[in-house]
């Protein structure tokens, strides 16, 4: 068994590992300084020691893994559930409006309370789930679905389309929200941390502006490097093959890099 900790929790890793060894009577290994970001499950390092499973602590991007079973211990940040419920009911006065709720994983522990209160009044409310098995069973995805965006999945009833829904994100205006909003074509996006609902403007978002800038640079490039941050993501070979075919049709030369954490020094070895 491997326990994967982010840097800010590594000081607790030894005591947790010793507890598991005594409880399970099995050898437990600690993973730190992961090959890619700490949000990704490090299957590569786990395979080096023949691990049969991974327990991942802290923030997670929830990318589907290919080989090993993973249990996530999600972080728990404080948020006032009652304030969110009250603000929600004041902001959305049409109880028949189609609304879908997403959330930062650190607030997963409050989602069951929020859902149980709001579903009594809102007839077209949908709650997304997380693509994982975790310490917060309510938010785990229990039914496999073809829809998976940034580790989130959902099920729409009555043949409705996601374009008909207003999306709510419980969490800060950060990269997770930007990624979801740029990938899921709902009517509009709002985010909240309790007291009020703020509209998320995708068009003026700096993440989108940066993405568009990089897309234009990519269009003009003759040689493209594809950096593989982790080999543990499910179907990564299919994704690489698809990308290579796209660039081949555009007559662009490609290199594939699998170098762990990329930095300028490593990439400088490939001047093209």
Q: Can you spell out the DSSP letters for 5-53? A: --GGGGGGHHHHHHHHHHHH-S--EEE-S-SS-TTS--HHHHHHTT-S-
Whether 272 is covered by a domain: the verdict is no
Residue 35 confidence (pLDDT) = 58
- Is 86 a member of any domain? yes
The C-alpha angle with vertex 234 and arms to 231 and 237, in degrees rounded to 5, equals: 65
Residues 59 and 150 in one domain: no
Q: Is the same domain home to 66 and 12?
A: yes
Alpha carbon distance 51, 42 (integer Å): 11
Judge if 173 and 114 occupy the same domain.
Answer: yes
> What is the domain count for the chain?
3
> For the chain, what is the largest distance between any 2 Cα atoms, rounded to a whole number of angstroms?
60
Predicted pLDDT at 77: 94
Specify whether 176 is located in the same domain as 251.
no
64: domain CATH number is 3.40.50.11840
Domain final residue, candidates 54, 73, 92: 73
**Residue 182, number of CB atoms within 10 A of its CB:** 16
Task: Render each residue's pLDDT in the chain as its tens digit; 272 residues.
Answer: 999 999 889 999 999 999 999 998 989 999 886 656 788 888 888 888 889 999 999 999 898 887 889 999 999 999 999 999 999 999 999 999 999 999 999 999 999 999 999 999 999 999 999 999 999 999 998 777 778 898 999 999 888 999 999 999 999 999 899 999 999 999 999 999 888 899 998 877 788 888 889 999 999 999 998 888 777 778 888 989 999 999 999 999 998 887 666 677 777 777 76
Contact yes or no for 136/74 (Cβ under 8 A): yes
Pair (90, 179) in one structural domain: yes
What are the tokens at 138?
Answer: 């309510």
Same domain, 193 and 104: yes
Instruction: Count CB neighbours of 134 within 10 A.
Output: 20
Would you say residue 136 lies in a domain? yes
Asked if 187 and 85 sit in the same domain, the reply is yes
Residue 93 and residue 180 share a domain = yes
Q: Residue 50: which domain range?
A: 2-73
Backbone angles phi, psi at 115, to 5 degrees: -65, -45
Beta bridge partners of 54: 2, 70
Gap between the Cα atoms of 125 and 94, Å rounded: 11
Q: In this predicted structure, what is the pLDDT of residue 257?
A: 82
Could you tell me if 129 and 183 lie in one domain? yes
Tell whether 191 and 216 lie within a shared domain. Answer: no
Is the domain of 61 the same as that of 151?
no
Point out the domain boundary residue: 24, 43, 73: 73
**Tokens encoding 77:** 């940040």
Q: What is the DSSP letter of 229?
A: -
Q: Could you tell me if residue 50 is inside a domain?
A: yes
Instruction: Answer yes or no: do 42 and 130 share one domain.
Output: no
Q: What is the pLDDT of residue 57?
A: 95
pLDDT at 121: 95
């Amino acid at each position: 068994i491997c326990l994967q900790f982010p840097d800010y929790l590594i000081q607790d890793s030894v005591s947790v590992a010793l507890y598991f060894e005594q409880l399970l009577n099995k050898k437990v290994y600690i993973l730190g300084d992961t090959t890619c970001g700490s949000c990704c499950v490090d299957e590569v390092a786990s395979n080096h020691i023949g691990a049969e499973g991974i327990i991942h602590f802290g923030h997670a991007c929830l990318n589907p893994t290919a080989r090993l079973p993973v249990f996530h211990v999600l972080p728990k940040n404080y948020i006032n559930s009652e304030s969110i419920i009250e603000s929600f009911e004041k902001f959305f006065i049409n109880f028949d409006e189609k609304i879908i709720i997403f959330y930062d994983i650190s607030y997963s522990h409050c989602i069951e309370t929020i859902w149980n209160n709001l579903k009594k009044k809102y007839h077209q409310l949908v709650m997304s789930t997380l693509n994982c098995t975790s310490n917060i069973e309510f938010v785990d995805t229990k039914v496999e679905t073809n829809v998976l965006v940034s580790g989130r999945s959902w099920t729409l009833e009555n043949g409705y389309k996601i374009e008909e829904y207003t999306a709510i994100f419980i969490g800060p205006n950060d990269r997770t929200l930007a990624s979801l909003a740029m990938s899921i074509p709902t009517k509009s996006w709002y985010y909240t941390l309790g007291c009020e609902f703020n509209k998320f403007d995708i068009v003026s978002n700096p993440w989108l502006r940066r993405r568009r800038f990089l897309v234009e640079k990519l269009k003009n490039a003759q040689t493209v490097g594809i950096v593989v941050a982790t080999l543990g993501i499910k179907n990564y070979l299919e994704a690489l093959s698809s990308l290579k075919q796209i660039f081949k049709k555009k007559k662009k030369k490609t290199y594939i890099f699998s170098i762990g954490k990329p930095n300028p020094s490593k990439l400088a070895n490939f001047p093209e």
